Amino acid sequence: MRRLLLATAMLVWTAPALADTPEEAAEAALEAAPVWDGHNDVPIQLRGRFGNVIGDFDFEDTTGTESPDGRRAMHTDIARLKRGKVGAQWWSVYVSASLEEPEAVQATIEQIDVTKRLIARYPGELGLALTADDVERHMAQGRIASLMGMEGGHSIGSSLAVLRQMYAMGARYMTLTHGKTLSWADSATDEPKNNGLSDFGKDVVREMNRIGMLVDLSHVSEKAMHDALDVAQAPVIFSHSSARALNGHARNVPDSALARLPANGGIIMVTFVPGFLSEAARQWNANRAAEQARLEALWQGQPDEVANRLASWDEANPLPQSSIAETADHIDHIRSVAGIEAIGIGGDYDGIPFAPPGLEDVSTYPALFGELARRGYSQQDLEMISSRNMMRVMRAAEAASSSMDDIPPYEHAAGEER
């Protein structure tokens, strides 16, 4: 595995430019290696806000997309992506894990379709990317390389045939689960049923490696992480997660898995979800949920009373703020456990209601890189975090797939219980 990674994924580094300030160091790094973000949920916003009817949707500027029903303005548009120095973006073609699997398969195809239609509407600014070479070409030509990732194995309906066809349609990673445990993979935030991955789940990982689809381990249980790492023949990713040692949320990655990334060659793309960054915010969320449950038990059948009392609790107990500094703390920790080669960025913009102050939308990535520069990260370090690590991982996954040309597709009988 190490020989494969070294043979196929060596990068040619540009000589670091001299910079007088952290901001200048960040600017130089992002000029040389623009951000390749691991997870953005614009496609589900298109579905939820517009029913995927996007003929009148202006992706140049979405700052006015707040609506009377309380929906906040979107975090993402082309103008702000450019200000944020984003050169490549994984667009999530997520659909709800509450859908029955056949419905989820259809909805995922619809999300792939709307994402491709959005990319095609802006040929000067966005470019569909299916390979690492595509990413490199689009970035060199000043376009935002646009890749698609499925978020949750419900999107393939427990079928390797559907997995292969999703790849043929352009999906280049799949998060094995979302918020619900599947018949073949345990979610981090649901009751386990498989003690990690079932035998079929392990074959999903093997088939993803064979066809060249990246295995994304955000959202899966700790045991499922280790099961996937045990069988993976290509680097894995965590497309939008942070460090569990600093914030105990189950969606974060424990040191036991982080420590295995160097041998695997994979990366964790640190996310900006406040409840995954700030332990105080995580505790606040748990306390608020407990207070709501208490009020509902005390004031049964009186929803207005519950709402009024919960509003009073909110006023007396403001949500602790996360910060750019806390985000950098997670990067520091991951570097100490897994090394600089294991770090990327996965903001989760437009999949979260709000981000930390200073990281409010996709224009703000340079602020985080400035903070890292102040902490002593070199320009080469910053370039690795911004996109060179992700490029290495994708090239290595493609090389691993090419090395398996003689392996036939993994097969399971249609309709077989998983």
DSSP 3-state assignment of 247? Answer: coil
Catalytic residue among 39, 75, 249, 330: 39
Catalytic option among 75, 138, 154, 219: 219
Residue 75 annotated in active site: no
**Pair 259, 338: CB distance under 8 Å:** yes
- Pairwise CA distance, residues 363 & 349, whole Å: 11
**From the CB of residue 249, how many other CB atoms can be counted at a distance below 10 Å?**
21
Phi-psi region of 142 (alpha: psi -120 to 50; beta: other; left: phi over 0): left
The question of whether 113 is a catalytic residue gets the answer no
Question: Is residue 226 annotated as part of the catalytic site, yes or no?
Answer: no
- Concerning whether 348 is annotated as a catalytic residue, the answer is yes
Whether 133 is catalytic is no
Q: Per residue in 75-114, is it b (16+ CB within 10 Å) or e — as a string?
A: bbbbebbbebbbbbbbbbbbbebebebeebbebbbebbeb
pLDDT at 84: 98
Integer Cα distance of 30 and 92 in angstroms: 23
CA distance 197 to 182: 9
Class of domain 3-7+22-274+321-403: alpha beta
pLDDT by position in tens, the chain (length 418): 544 444 444 444 444 445 679 999 999 999 999 999 999 999 999 999 999 999 999 999 999 999 888 899 999 999 999 999 999 999 999 999 999 999 999 999 999 999 999 999 999 999 999 999 999 999 999 999 999 999 999 999 999 999 999 999 999 999 999 999 999 999 999 999 999 999 999 999 999 999 999 999 999 999 999 999 999 999 999 999 999 999 999 999 999 999 999 999 999 999 999 999 999 999 999 999 999 999 999 999 999 999 999 999 999 999 999 999 999 999 999 999 999 999 999 999 999 999 999 999 999 999 999 999 999 999 999 999 999 999 999 999 999 999 999 999 999 887 676 7
pTM for this entry: 0.93
Cα→Cα distances 113→47, 171, 306, Å? 11, 11, 42
Active site residue 58: no
Catalytic residue check, 381:
no
**Of the residues 75, 138, 154, 178, which is catalytic?**
178
Tell me which of 151, 227, 341, 398 is the catalytic residue: 151
Give CA angle at 149 (143, 152), nearest 5°: 160
Catalytic entry in 240, 249, 330, 333: 240
pLDDT value, residue 69: 83
Q: Output 205-210 pairs: Cβ under 8 A, ≥24 positions apart.
A: 205/176, 205/231, 205/232, 206/231, 206/233, 206/410, 207/160, 207/163, 207/164, 207/409, 207/410, 208/163, 208/174, 209/233, 209/234, 209/397, 209/400, 209/401, 209/404, 210/401, 210/404, 210/407, 210/409, 210/410
DSSP result, 13-63: PPPPPP-SSHHHHHHHHHHHS-EEEEEE-HHHHHHHHHTT--TT--TT--T
Paired with 35 in beta bridges are: 86
